[in-house]
Homo-oligomer: A and B are copies of this chain.
């Protein structure tokens, strides 16, 4: 790679690969609060947002670009720790921080992360590939991140332990899982659960022109906190920012119980209709996409 400190970064993609580009804001007061989130956590989550989008296409990250606008009075230590958190995650996934922009912020910390990735030509896993009869799987557990937000909203003065709510404070992007699903041709459509299961499943259905039926009791609910407890169903169905992978699997493909150490759970199937139902035994209700609204929910 050439071009650090140049007008643009210059990057070479592997031969016969396409470029993936994703860009995500991390804004103080919207995506994090300085009294709730350590600088390392903010840096980590900032990059996770981008890497998780690459994972959801079955791609591999090439480089990240960070645009950062900071208030004049921000302590240097905050910035250093933020960058540590971001670079620590970048290093583990072999991602170079290849550039970005800096500016003074009139108000609050503003970050925008861009990730450039690559995927073999024509092999990106889109949201639009789901077919009736495909089974629906989700990785890991859901609702852990939203539960942390709920706890902090209930008692804004209490600082939660990152260890007890790891999926909220230091979510791991599912890059290896995404890549393996793509290499083995196991997923017909995929998305990351950044907006919450109900919204993200709706995105797949809308883009694929299909419906879905899930069984709520099959949804893997996270176990978080101290003492550790299973999260509410509502937060597993609608809470965002777990950064798990939600994907559909064509008939005839077998999915192991885990890939890359991450459990995979079948939660339902794609249907011919246009609507998404959540079933409990024979009784079902339409699952409305309840867009995850960060701290304003």
A20 proximity list for chain B (CB < 8 A): 3, 8-11
What per-residue 1/0 map shows which CB atoms of A1-42 lie under 8 Å from chain B? Answer: 011011111111100001111111101111100000000000
Copy tally for this chain in the complex stands at 2
The segment from A61-69, A75-83, A156-164, A249-257 found at the interface with B is: A61-69
Q: How far is the CA of A119 from the CA of B18 in the complex (A)?
A: 15
Q: Produce 1/0 per residue, A92-127, CB < 8 A to B.
A: 000000111101111110101010110101001011
Contact check, B69 vs A6: say whether CB atoms are below 8 A apart.
no
Q: Report whether B59 and A8 are in contact in the complex, using a CB–CB cutoff of 8 Å.
A: yes
* Stretch with Cβ within 8 A of B (4 or more), from A49-57, A211-219, A276-284: A49-57
Residues of A at the B interface (CB closer than 8 Å) are: 2-3, 5-13, 18-25, 27-31, 52-54, 56-57, 59, 63, 65, 67, 69, 98-101, 103-108, 110, 112, 114, 116-117, 119, 121, 124, 126-128, 190-192, 203, 207, 296
Q: Which 6 A-B pairs have the closest CB atoms?
A: A107-B107, A7-B56, A112-B112, A8-B20, A7-B53, A29-B106
